[in-house]
Amino acid sequence: MKTDFLKYNDQFIDGPLVLTPQTFFDDRGFFFESWNERSFINTLKENTKFFDLNSSITFVQDNQSLSKKNILRGLHYQIKPFDQGKLVSCIKGEIFDVIVDLRKESKTFGKWAGIYLSEKNFNQIWIPSGFAHGFYSLKDQTRVLYKTTNFWNKDSERTILWNDPNINICWPTNGLSPSVSNKDKEGSLLIEIIENELF
């Protein structure tokens, strides 16, 4: 499994990892392991700067979404004790996947990073708890699959406004106005989250 780190400008964001599984191609198509617990945990342990060796990761829920082109979902997170880590894949189509660091003690607090996930590049992103997450669909019939380390909890869910000017995410919309749900349109600004300690 190939591993890479996400960056904000030239600075690494501690914690999240880009994972690319080894893929085997032949004239029939391809094969790869989309989930292997042992390989995943070993990958995290090899990056000890980003992973507590005494902790463990258990996924309890799988979610899938289907999106038309130009759909934007996010930025979502859950507060403790229902905070979630996520392992995100795009199994059909393509997305621009975005995280925002909400860990108050982090050097990159309030910063964002993004990566393209698609059915062709097989990339996955591991997002530890403490990050908001969202994505923009670049193709019709795009399907996203993500595993979570905690169950969804309505009362714990929070949303940051996708176009918060203080975060200034460079969404690859090519000048289009993305389609956003009413709930996401009513997301909070990061400054409001900080002032009201909505972590």
**Amino acid (one-letter) located at 186:** E
Helix or strand or coil: residue 180?
strand
Calpha distance 74→51 (Å, rounded): 26
- Of 52, 188, 180, 78, nearest in space to 133 by CA: 78
**Euclidean distance between CA atoms 144 and 32, whole angstroms:** 17
Residue 198 burial (CB count, 10 A): 14
**Is 76 among the residues known to form the active site?**
yes
Phi, psi of 74 (to 5 degrees): 125, 180
Catalytic residue among 8, 76, 77, 116: 76
Catalytic positions are 76, 146
